[in-house]
């Protein structure tokens, strides 16, 4: 019997005893009430339940940073975070950065410095850069390299990403 339960779960079928939770997530300043499986990640809640597809599902293991969002101003890889853990906290996604029609200074700098190629990692890179600058950790090339190391760019646009961050950190 235990083997059959394991097969059912691995085939995408949920067990009848899976608990559901009612939560309210505050995302980009708006409250969203959700009834979800307790095991839903923050990334899946944002993408599948709220339609906010800016954060990307890259590795689904917390290693690439494509899913980076801010929670209370701090960087979080949302593929490893359970949505239910973030009730009552302020979640910021890349969609909120251009609210009001204009681009955020980091978005402008990424465009100006050609800091993307395929663009898949760009939302996570931008969110991480926004936090990095707010934390005051963009004072040198080495510091930027260190504190952006959780965000992988498979296209190798690192020099341009660092240049964009330096530009905004310097007031550009």
| DSSP annotation of 45 | I
Give domain status of residue 134, yes or no.
yes
Phi, psi of 88 (to 5 degrees): 85, 5
Domain housing 88: 17-96
90-136 pLDDT per residue, tens: 999 999 998 788 999 999 999 999 999 999 999 999 999 999 999 99
140-160 pLDDT per residue, tens: 999 999 999 999 999 999 999
Domain end, chosen from 96, 122, 151, is at 96
Domain end, chosen from 53, 75, 96, is at 96
62 and 46 in one domain?
A: yes
Domain end, chosen from 50, 81, 96, is at 96
What confidence score (pLDDT) does residue 98 get? 87
The pair of three-digit structure tokens given for residue 90, joined into one six-digit string: 């302020």
The pair of three-digit structure tokens given for residue 1, joined into one six-digit string: 């019997």
Beta bridge partners of 35: 22
164 and 151 in one domain?
A: yes
Considering its fold, how many domains does the chain have in total? 2
pTM of the model: 0.87
């Amino acid at each position: 019997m235990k083997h059959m339960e394991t097969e059912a779960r691995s085939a995408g079928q949920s067990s009848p005893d899976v608990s559901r939770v009612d939560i309210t997530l505050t995302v980009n300043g708006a409250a969203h009430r959700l009834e979800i499986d307790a095991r839903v990640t923050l990334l899946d809640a944002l993408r599948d339940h709220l339609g906010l597809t800016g954060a990307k599902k890259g590795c689904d293991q917390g290693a690439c940073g494509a899913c980076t969002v801010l929670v209370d101003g701090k960087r979080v890889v949302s593929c490893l975070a359970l949505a239910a853990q973030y009730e009552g906290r302020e979640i910021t996604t890349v969609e909120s950065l251009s609210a009001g029609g204009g681009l955020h200074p980091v978005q402008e700098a990424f465009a100006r410095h050609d800091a993307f190629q395929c663009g898949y990692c760009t939302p996570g890179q931008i969110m991480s850069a926004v936090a990095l600058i707010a934390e005051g950790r963009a004072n040198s090339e080495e510091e930027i390299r260190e504190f952006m190391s959780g965000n992988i760019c498979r296209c190798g646009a690192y020099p341009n990403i660092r240049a964009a961050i330096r530009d905004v950190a310097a007031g550009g």
